[in-house]
Amino acid sequence: MVSKSKKEIRVRIAPSPTGYFHIGTARTALFNYLFARQNGGVFILRIEDTDLERSDKKFEEDIFDGLKWLGLEWDEGPVIDTQSQKSRQGRGSPEAAKVKSQNYIGKYGPYRQTERLDIYEKYINQLLDKNLAYYCFCSKEDLEAERQAMMTQGLAPKYSGRCRTLKPEEIQEKLHSNTSRIIRLKMPESKITFKDLIRGSISFDTGLIGDIAIAKDTRTPLYNFAVVIDDYEMKISHVIRGEDHVANTPKQIAIQKALDLPQPHYAHLPLILDSDRHKMSKRFSAASLKEYREEGYLPQAMINFMALLGWHSSPEQMQELGFSPDREIFNLDELVRFFNLKRVQKAGAIFNIDKLNWLNAQYLKFLKDKDLAELLKVKNVKIIALVRDRMKKISDFQELAGSLLNPVDYSFELLIWKDSPKEVILDNLKESLRIFSATLAVDFNQESLNKTIGLLAEQRGKGEVFWPIRAALSGKKNSPGPLEIAEAIGKKETIKRIETAIKKLSN
């Protein structure tokens, strides 16, 4: 366990509810959670919902569902009173928030940007009053024309700053006439350098960026501005996020400098890549956590898998503690213990579905039959025991055991062993039926049946006896052994299925 620093560790996950909870965002949430837990810090959930056109309640609910499924509980926010359906100020909460969902893990709701507009307005007005920001009235057409002209000259496109020098009366006139506008920050032409905890020192020339848009108006902040204010107000000490945010960092630091706000530590995680090394997307593979849940992956396996997307344990540490140096299976508590930002790689992390399937299969093996039965909502534990070793996902169960739970129709040809005459197979099934019927229910198990049906197979041929029984009981070419199935489905169902097979051959 890493010792707690003098300054409290405070991190956040800040998804936007404009799409389903992405596997990349879930991985970022996990890394923030692990870092907070091992440092005795605070893990915050903030919903960045200022994009009113694209934000959707169902996506917000999906975020809560995903975090709840993974078991990543956040530590702060409006306190939820489930009795009165109201909320009051929670730990460190700068304001109360309306309860919009009860699908939370613990007692706290999330922070939402749409409930913090007064806070953003205060800081935007500060920048306007200090002449560190200004209204820009350029049309989209003007901005696109500027962009094309710069690109034609081989220059990096940026805003020219034409509205920087507007006179106060011109600004008031345009505001009064409700001319379309945004608010821009006056970017200093200098070099901004910051130390990334994963990537080392990174520098940007702000002269190549131009004056950035920070708000549509004083009550409608844009992403980079709202993030800075929220991180300051929530006292975020470490911003741990995806590599695709590296380009946003100098803009956010410029806003911090303009408002004289402290700068948090930054750590940018590697992108998650498909097997073809392209950024993971819907086009190439399932991208939302919801899809993996529905496909039958366990949350423990997904946590373990996501942790290995860009992070690896220390072989020396593993060996010192008596573990295999190349150990790959870690539960959440162990990840809290062993996780270290210094061991997060810079290069992209390849999403290997075979690795996920292998991990999921391992976690399925850890489950007791009764626990797996409860998860599958299946009462017959014996059938689960028959197929569990071949399961990679929960969803595999129906394919592997569906015909054992409910008989399926099949052609009589399936009952024939190789070139055996139909009459021979029919006679063997009738004799098997006689033996099954004569066996007491208490002795209807693989061990006892092997002494009777097994003896018949020795006399008449294993294939000629066991194959038609297997086919009759499973309705498939490939299945567990016939006596294993018989024990699992029980005497009554076994007799019923053998009788059905006899009728098929007789007809």
**Would you list which residues are annotated within the binding site for ATP?**
282
Polymer length of the chain:
507
Which is it for the CA torsion 388, 68, 222, 239, positive or negative?
negative
Sequence letter at residue 160: S
SS3 string, 353-399, reads: HHHHHHHHHHHHHHCCHHHHHHHHCCCCHHHHHHHHHHCCCCCHHHH
Q: What angle do CA 279, 211, 127 make, to 5 degrees?
A: 115
Single-letter code of the amino acid located at 215 = A
DSSP 8-state symbol, 344: B
Cα–Cα distance for residue pair 37/338, rounded to 1 Å: 11
CA dist 228 to 69, 303, 387, 488, Å?
29, 29, 52, 61
> Residue 76 class from Cβ within 10 Å (0-12 exposed, 13-18 middle, 19+ buried)?
buried
- CA distances to 213, 438, 507 from 12, rounded to whole Å, are 24, 67, 69
Binding site membership: which residues?
A: 282
